[in-house]
Amino acid sequence: MVDIEQPKKKAAGVPAVLSSFKFGFREMGPARTGKVFLKMNQDGGFDCPSCAWPDPDSKRKHAAEFCENGAKAVAWEATRKRVPREFFAGHSIDELNEISEFELGKLGRITEPMLLRAGSDHYEPVGWEEAFQVVARHLKALVDPNDAVFYTSGRTSNEAAFLYQLFVRAYGTNNLPDCSNMCHESSGTALSRVIGSGKGAVTLEMLEEAELIVVVGQNPGTNAPRMLSHLEIAKKHGADIVSVNPLPEPGLMNFKNPQRPSGWVGKGTALADQHLQIRIGGDQALFLAVGHLLLEAEAAAPGTVLDKRFIEQHTSGYELYSKHNAELDWPAVEQASGLTRAEIEEFTQRFIKSKATVICWAMGLTQHREAVATITEIVNVLLLQGNIGKPGAGPCPVRGHSNVQGDRSMGIWEKMPAAFLDRLDAEFAFTSPREHGIDAAETVQRLQRGEVRVFFAMGGNFAMATPDTAVVHKGLRECDLTVHISTKLNRSHTVTGREALILPTLGRTDHDQTANGPQSVTVEDSQGAVHLSTGNLMPPAPEIKSEIGIVCGLAALVVPEVGEIPWADFADDYSLIRHRIGRVADGYENMENRLRVKGGFLLAHAARDKREFKTSDAKAQFSANDLSWLPTSAGRLLLQTMRSHDQFNTTIYGLEDRYRGVHGTREVVFVNPDDLAELGLKDGQYVDIVSEFAGVERRASKFRLVSYPTARGCVAAYYPETNVLMAADDVAKGSNTPVAKGLTVRLEPVS
Interface residues toward ligand SF4, by CB under 6 A: 48, 50-51, 53, 66-67, 69-70, 73, 224-226
Task: Say which residues have a Cβ less than 8 Å from residue 256's Cβ, sequence separation at least 6.
Answer: 10, 11, 12, 13, 14, 262, 263, 264, 266, 268, 269
Q: Is the dihedral of CA 108, 114, 118, 121 positive or negative?
A: negative
Compute the least distance from the CB of residue 649 to ligand SF4, in Å: 11
Preceding omega of 7 cis (within 30 degrees of 0): no
DSSP H helices, 562-669, are 567-572, 574-584, 591-594, 606-610
Compute the least distance from the CB of residue 48 to ligand SF4, in Å: 3
DSSP H helices, 108-184, are 128-141, 158-171
Compute the least distance from the CB of residue 529 to ligand SF4, in Å: 12
Distance CA 156, CA 521 (A): 10
Task: Say which residues have a Cβ less than 8 Å from residue 695's Cβ, sequence separation at least 6.
Answer: none
Compute the least distance from the CB of residue 653 to ligand SF4, in Å: 12
Phi first, then psi, for residue 614 (nearest 5°) are -85, 55
Q: Which of 74/687 has CB closer to ligand SF4?
A: 74
Q: Which of 657/730 has CB closer to ligand SF4?
A: 657
Q: Which of 45/246 has CB closer to ligand SF4?
A: 45
Question: From its phi and psi, is residue 672 left (phi > 0), alpha (psi between -120 and 50) or beta?
Answer: beta
Q: Which of 228/333 has CB closer to ligand SF4?
A: 228
Q: Which of 186/533 has CB closer to ligand SF4?
A: 533
Q: Which of 642/706 has CB closer to ligand SF4?
A: 642
Task: Say which residues have a Cβ less than 8 Å from residue 609's Cβ, sequence separation at least 6.
Answer: 389
Query: Hey, is 347 helix, strand or coil?
Result: helix
Distance CA 731, CA 466 (A): 12
Q: Which of 230/493 has CB closer to ligand SF4?
A: 230
Compute the least distance from the CB of residue 513 to ligand SF4, in Å: 25
Query: Hey, is 357 helix, strand or coil?
Result: strand
Q: Which of 45/460 has CB closer to ligand SF4?
A: 45
Q: Which of 67/168 has CB closer to ligand SF4?
A: 67
Compute the least distance from the CB of residue 635 to ligand SF4, in Å: 39
Task: Say which residues have a Cβ less than 8 Å from residue 422's Cβ, sequence separation at least 6.
Answer: none
| Residue 121: Cβ within 10 Å count | 13
Compute the least distance from the CB of residue 69 to ligand SF4, in Å: 5
Distance CA 727, CA 721 (A): 14
Alpha carbon 445 to its chain's center? 21
Compute the least distance from the CB of residue 420 to ligand SF4, in Å: 27
Compute the least distance from the CB of residue 51 to ligand SF4, in Å: 3
Q: Which of 155/545 has CB closer to ligand SF4?
A: 155
Compute the least distance from the CB of residue 525 to ligand SF4, in Å: 8
Q: Is the dihedral of CA 566, 570, 573, 576 positive or negative?
A: positive
Compute the least distance from the CB of residue 52 to ligand SF4, in Å: 7
The answer to whether 348 and 309 have CB atoms below 8 angstroms apart is: no
The answer to whether 719 and 666 have CB atoms below 8 angstroms apart is: no
Q: Which of 19/50 has CB closer to ligand SF4?
A: 50
Residue with smallest beta-carbon separation from ligand SF4: 70
